[in-house]
Amino acid sequence: MCSAANCMLPLRKNCEGLANLGRLNGGASMSISATGFRMHRHPQDSEMDFTWQELMAITELQDLEVQNDSQYENGPYPPMEPAVSVGGFGMNQSHTGALTQGCDVTSGGYEGSYHEVMPPCQRLGPGMDPHYAHSGSQLASRLHPNTQSLQPPLMSFLEHMNLMSASHGLEKDSFGHSHSTGLGPSHSKQQHAAIDDMESDSGLSLGSSPPLASPENGVTSVTTYACTEPGVPYAEDEMEASMGEHCRMTGDSHVYPMDFHHHHHPVNHYPGAPSTSYFPMAPSLPPIHQQHQSHSVYPLKQQQILPSTALHLNSPGTSGSRAGSCTSSYIRPKGHGALTPLSRDERRASALKIPFPLEKIVNLPVDDFNELLTHYTLNEPQLALVRDIRRRGKNKVAAQNCRKRKLENIVHLEGELGQLRTQREHLARERLDFQRGLATIKCRLSELYAKVFSQLRDEEGHPYSLEDYALQQTNDGNMYLVARNASLDAE
């Protein structure tokens, strides 16, 4: 550079008036130990003090502003500049290219020195950096008002799901948990199962999704299976083999309705609901039928089915009108009169003469289901089929719930994404506003620095002319007064 003593003068002067310089923003104090270059108090020192006080005031203001705005820097945005300390001034000043545009420091007698000697990363005081560069933990409090409750997706999702569960009330627990209503757990389970039926086409459609029963077609929606049906359209050997002993019950078919009359299936009823009896049951089983008539009180979603009427294998019915009528076993009324073929399991159940409705096979709690089985003597193929039906029915419901949950997650995540985008735009606007304010402050600060600089005096009391000296920063981060000719020479 130059002969250091004369040309490159560390800005560590014996200058009481500048002592405060090292206290900019409360940062690292400036060393005033340089030799051969001292600042002397002059009559205008009081003016310098005043200027300095003004400087301090503006830096304090700067500090305050930064405290207000810095918290955005740990959010989705990277810090504008790295925090690099400037030994001499104890300042770190942030900078962006646009900040000083329009702030002509050189015209203030500083001749570009501010820009030149202060790297962009060092134009904010150290009091600014800590605020400007961290505080991520407080970010949430600075969020857009509408997004204050925003949480990480998972947490939000969990909360969402809780809300969903709460809002759905007893409609359905999407995680499969029964909602206690003060009744026993068995009741809750059954309620849950029945709710599932109402909410999805699962229950046990076992084959088709369209609505199978409705108040309009209540009567015709009865699926009837005739045990004497000659035209079973499939011939699975084991089923056929078991046909011979079909419907062999324990001899007391009344046991079944007696027991399950007490299972509180939370079914609902609508007038004119189809008779839902099934083949082996004695015609006089009103409790059973009441249990299975319902569901339809809830509005049907499109393509949802009401399994209560779809799953009964045999329906002589208590109405008596169709008892023994032996209507077709393989076509079931669909929606508004359309016919739909029976599902595989329905056909199999019909072939094996399963003596209870598929709905019960699937929806009964395990204990009740086992108890149900004890009331009938089923052969191995029948038992295997019943268990398969139960497994598939459960899994079908689970799959439907799973897909429903998946869709809900997607919807929720999309909403959260929109929220985050809004937040990002909001933060970008605030950031822009902050940068503009900061540029104004820096402009004023530069002017004040220039003013201070113009009031410095050397040992002989001569001012440091801006024409002769400029502030420059060395690699060690310290600020120096550099003779311009030396600086030019060095270059």
Partner DNA sequence: GACCTCTGTCATAGC
Partner DNA sequence: TTGCTATGACAGAGG
CB of residue 202 to DNA, shortest distance in Å: 6
Where does this chain touch DNA (CB under 7 A) — which range of 123-131, 154-162, 213-221, 341-349? 341-349
Where does this chain touch DNA (CB under 7 A) — which range of 85-93, 248-256, 260-268, 401-409? 401-409
CB of residue 203 to DNA, shortest distance in Å: 9
Whether residue 10 contacts residue 473, with contact meaning beta carbons closer than 8 Å, is answered with: no
CB of residue 245 to DNA, shortest distance in Å: 23
CB of residue 70 to DNA, shortest distance in Å: 40
Map the footprint of DNA across residues 286-325, applying CB under 7 A. 303
Strand order in the sheet with 8-10: 8-10, 479-483, 469-473
Residue from 296, 365, 376, 423 in contact with DNA (CB under 7 A): 365
- In angstroms, what CA-CA distances link 262 with 20, 272, 278, 323? 89, 23, 18, 25
CB-based contacts of 38, cutoff 8 Å, min separation 6:
13, 14, 15, 458, 459
Residues in binding contact with DNA, number by CB under 7 A: 35
Distance, in Å, from the CA atom of 197 to the CA atom of 365, rounded to the nearest integer, reads 14
When asked if residue 344 is in the footprint of DNA (CB under 7 A), the reply is yes
The closest of 26, 82, 29 to 56, measured between CA atoms, is 26
When asked if residue 401 is in the footprint of DNA (CB under 7 A), the reply is yes
Residue from 74, 186, 327, 400 in contact with DNA (CB under 7 A): 400
Q: Which amino acid is at 164?
A: M
Whether residue 419 contacts residue 146, with contact meaning beta carbons closer than 8 Å, is answered with: yes
The C-alpha angle 242, 244, 249, rounded to 5 degrees, equals 85
DSSP assignment, residue 299?
A: P
- Relative orientation angle of helices 380-454 and 153-168, to the nearest 10 degrees: 130
Distance, in Å, from the CA atom of 214 to the CA atom of 201, rounded to the nearest integer, reads 13
Distance, in Å, from the CA atom of 89 to the CA atom of 477, rounded to the nearest integer, reads 9
When asked if residue 406 is in the footprint of DNA (CB under 7 A), the reply is yes
- In angstroms, what CA-CA distances link 175 with 178, 192, 222, 245, 364? 9, 11, 32, 41, 18
Whether residue 128 contacts residue 25, with contact meaning beta carbons closer than 8 Å, is answered with: yes
When asked if residue 410 is in the footprint of DNA (CB under 7 A), the reply is no
Residue from 126, 191, 393, 439 in contact with DNA (CB under 7 A): 393
CB of residue 229 to DNA, shortest distance in Å: 21
> Which of 98/410 has CB closer to DNA?
410
When asked if residue 336 is in the footprint of DNA (CB under 7 A), the reply is no
CB of residue 103 to DNA, shortest distance in Å: 55
When asked if residue 360 is in the footprint of DNA (CB under 7 A), the reply is no
- Relative orientation angle of helices 380-454 and 344-352, to the nearest 10 degrees: 150
CB of residue 362 to DNA, shortest distance in Å: 9
> Which of 44/174 has CB closer to DNA?
174
Residue from 137, 231, 366, 476 in contact with DNA (CB under 7 A): 366
> Which of 42/394 has CB closer to DNA?
394
CB of residue 81 to DNA, shortest distance in Å: 43
CB of residue 325 to DNA, shortest distance in Å: 27
Residue from 75, 79, 119, 207 in contact with DNA (CB under 7 A): 207
Q: At residue 334, what are phi and psi to the nearest 5 degrees?
A: -125, 135
When asked if residue 253 is in the footprint of DNA (CB under 7 A), the reply is no
> Which of 53/395 has CB closer to DNA?
395
Whether residue 204 contacts residue 310, with contact meaning beta carbons closer than 8 Å, is answered with: yes
CB-based contacts of 73, cutoff 8 Å, min separation 6:
79, 80, 132, 133, 134, 135
CB of residue 312 to DNA, shortest distance in Å: 16
C-alpha 62 chain-centroid distance? 37
Where does this chain touch DNA (CB under 7 A) — which range of 42-50, 218-226, 261-269, 392-400? 392-400
> Which of 174/379 has CB closer to DNA?
174
As given in the structure block, the two tokens for residue 324 are 């023994």
> Which of 55/206 has CB closer to DNA?
206
Distance, in Å, from the CA atom of 264 to the CA atom of 285, rounded to the nearest integer, reads 16
Provide the mask over 151-190, with x wherever binding to DNA is found by CB under 7 A and - wherever it is not: -----------------------xxx--------------
**Contact set with DNA (CB under 7 A):** 174-176, 192, 201-202, 205-209, 303, 343-345, 365-366, 369, 388, 390-403, 405-406
